[in-house]
Amino acid sequence: MAPPSWLQLRRTVRFGDTDAAGVMHFLQLLRWCHEAYEQSLEGFGIAPACVFPVPSAERPAGLEPAAAALPIVHCSADFRRPLVCGDPLLIELEPVRLDPGSFEVRYKFWRIRAGEEPQEAARGLSRHLAIEPASRQRCALPEAIGRWLEAAAVAQGGIRPL
Amino acid sequence: MAPPSWLQLRRTVRFGDTDAAGVMHFLQLLRWCHEAYEQSLEGFGIAPACVFPVPSAERPAGLEPAAAALPIVHCSADFRRPLVCGDPLLIELEPVRLDPGSFEVRYKFWRIRAGEEPQEAARGLSRHLAIEPASRQRCALPEAIGRWLEAAAVAQGGIRPL
Amino acid sequence: MAPPSWLQLRRTVRFGDTDAAGVMHFLQLLRWCHEAYEQSLEGFGIAPACVFPVPSAERPAGLEPAAAALPIVHCSADFRRPLVCGDPLLIELEPVRLDPGSFEVRYKFWRIRAGEEPQEAARGLSRHLAIEPASRQRCALPEAIGRWLEAAAVAQGGIRPL
Amino acid sequence: MAPPSWLQLRRTVRFGDTDAAGVMHFLQLLRWCHEAYEQSLEGFGIAPACVFPVPSAERPAGLEPAAAALPIVHCSADFRRPLVCGDPLLIELEPVRLDPGSFEVRYKFWRIRAGEEPQEAARGLSRHLAIEPASRQRCALPEAIGRWLEAAAVAQGGIRPL
């Protein structure tokens, strides 16, 4: 069964993602991870202003500010194949709830060059903790994030136990 | 007449594009400009490896390295309205040949919030000069760039004189 | 008379500042401009938390939040010579008050390679407008910024008229 | 015994390092790691053009191009305390040879706020592999990197076995 479109994204390596070695600069991969996570939430139906901080004057009318911030407490990346300007990428996301107040997202990056088999080019990981923005104390994950994690677990073929 | 799809692009403001003032950090706009320029070339049918440097081992078989580099010699941006995480943007590009060896691209960014009229949020400009990569001496624009500039001039309603 | 140390800064081009053309990616120059502006304020004696937004829980005890935000409404850059990884730079700042609620900073970047005369490599410009953070209405420049602008005008050899 | 100056660096969190949550955006930490690694090499006496790719026209006269590239094959970071605009940081580096063709650098970031004990704010890790730039085949670490790793091992209080 094909994964839902909000767990399988596409992007292209751009010139500003490269460095003087001619290939993608390592940092960019983690930027792509976070953008893929945001795009996945949006594709699932969660408005960014529900999850990310938006100044009150710019928030959609009637929308409460995000009750929790979800800072990254750990991230990592593994680089397997060079990526160059113009390379088309397929990004697979695997979000996993870790406990009632945290989750992680695992990312696989496939390089899809014309006339080549897809090659796994890199992996990424981000681990997020829910905190109350003002006190920075741990709190429960927002309900919308909970739904996204549950739907992802179902799509990935099984409810993972807490 | 609607502009062609390679002169009118879309993107969304992401969390990493913002700063502690809660809105887009000014730098990001110029990153979006360059990525829009790359996306426009690709949408028009020009392979990135024809224009941007790609190490020989990673270049598509049979493709010559780019004969000219197109560094930016001038850029500018004007910021009119705040952009926040999640804002959908429409980007209009207007590429213009300046002389046989240079061109500029003008960018308009429209903020398309639900329930609001589109608002012009920002403008950008990048000016590019063709040079031979090794000597850094000025040279003619690559032929593919010439075709893109011409098609843009036609789409924008008139051939601009050299 | 030598300019004060807070108007003449140094930095080095780093690998992550370059792109696949082997030289500095254009965006980085504007990042350096903003960092030079911040460093100049700090070198003059203005605490960052007086000017830039800092969450209340992290603000130094007794320090009021910044009364005005100073977003960039316009920026530009001109690129004259290539900069490569490791190039030492001298950055000259020229802050200028434009009216009671705005100022601009002009930046000159000198490339200081061993065994070469200093070469002007690039110029930058940022124009800042004071606004009240919540309403985003124009307001007067913060008093600390006023002192910095005045001291810069004196150092640059003359009080500039408003 | 105090560590040598090339293993203990300082920097300040800048406005562009923050995001709309008001604190440092996670990506920036890994940028600081790489810049600290470059600064450490330079402080130890290794010219950047010996290690990082520099176009031949811009290379110091008489200097050979770097014989090996040192791409990052793995990186990670752990975030423990929020960092805000203006926070002064102390960065401790611990470079470690892993085998004849690879090494890693461990980074500790201390937040040094006035009137507070230094607090460990974050850790980073980058793992580098030596490859021949054209073929991308594994090769031995450059001799200069070997000397830096050895001096670091001595400074850290013991030769680590290969």
Low-confidence residues of chain A: pLDDT under 70: 1, 158-162
Burial class of residue B152, CB neighbours in 10 A (0-12, 13-18, 19+): buried
Strand partners, A91: A9, A109
CA distance C38 to A118: 45
State the nearest Cα–Cα gap between C161 and chain D, in angstroms: 30
Tokens (6 digits) for A86: 């113009």
Task: Please judge whether B18 and D20 are an interchain contact, meaning their C-beta atoms are less than 8 angstroms apart.
Answer: yes
Amino acid at A57: A
Q: Report pLDDT digits (tens) over A127-144.
A: 999 999 989 999 999 999
- ipTM of the prediction: 0.94
Find the radius of gyration of the CA atoms of chain B: 17
Residue B91 is predicted with a pLDDT of: 98
Q: Report pLDDT digits (tens) over B124-139.
A: 999 999 999 989 999 9
CA distance B112 to B118: 5
State the nearest Cα–Cα gap between A28 and chain C, in angstroms: 10
**Which of D17, D37, D81, D84 is the best mutation test for C, with the most CBs of C within 10 A?**
D84
Task: Please judge whether C15 and D38 are an interchain contact, meaning their C-beta atoms are less than 8 angstroms apart.
Answer: yes
Do residues D38 and D48 lie in contact, with contact meaning Cβ atoms separated by under 8 Å?
Answer: yes
User: Which chains border A (3 or more CB–CB pairs < 8 Å)?
Assistant: B, C, D
DSSP state letters, chain A: -PPPGGGEEEEE--GGGB-TTSSB-HHHHHHHHHHHHHHHHHHHT--HHHHS---GGGSPTTPPPPS-B--EEEEEEEE-S---TT-EEEEEEEEEEEETTEEEEEEEEEE--TTS--EEEEEEEEEEE-B-TTT--B-PPPHHHHHHHHHHHHHTTSPPP-
Which chain A positions have a beta carbon within 8 Å of B49's beta carbon? 84-86
State the nearest Cα–Cα gap between B1 and chain C, in angstroms: 32
Q: Report pLDDT digits (tens) over D87-138.
A: 999 999 999 999 999 999 999 999 999 999 999 999 999 999 999 998 999 9
Any catalytic annotation for residue D19? yes
CA distance B27 to B29: 5
Numbered residues of chain D with Cβ closer than 8 Å to any chain C Cβ: 12, 14-16, 22-23, 31, 34-35, 38-39, 42, 47-49, 52-55, 58-61, 82, 84-86, 113-115
Query: Does the pLDDT value for residue C161 go beyond 70?
Result: no
Task: Please judge whether D42 and C115 are an interchain contact, meaning their C-beta atoms are less than 8 angstroms apart.
Answer: no
CA distance B20 to D14: 10
Residue D162 is predicted with a pLDDT of: 47
Which chain B positions have a beta carbon within 8 Å of D25's beta carbon? 15-16
State the nearest Cα–Cα gap between B105 and chain D, in angstroms: 26
| Secondary-structure breakdown of chain C: helix, strand, coil percentages, each rounded to the nearest 5 | 30, 30, 40
Query: Does the pLDDT value for residue C103 go beyond 60?
Result: yes
What would the mean pLDDT of C103-130 be, rounded to a whole number? 97
Banded pLDDT at B1 (limits 50, 70, 90): low
Task: Report the predicted TM-score, pTM, of the whole model to 2 decimal places.
Answer: 0.96
C16: nearest CB among A22, A27, A136: A27
Q: Of A19, A78, A87, A99, which residue is the catalytic one? A: A19
Task: Please judge whether D57 and B134 are an interchain contact, meaning their C-beta atoms are less than 8 angstroms apart.
Answer: yes
Residue D86 is given by DSSP the state T
Q: Report pLDDT digits (tens) over D72-84.
A: 999 999 999 999 9
Do residues D150 and D144 lie in contact, with contact meaning Cβ atoms separated by under 8 Å?
Answer: no
Q: Looking at chain A, which residue has its C-alpha nearest residue B36?
A: A14
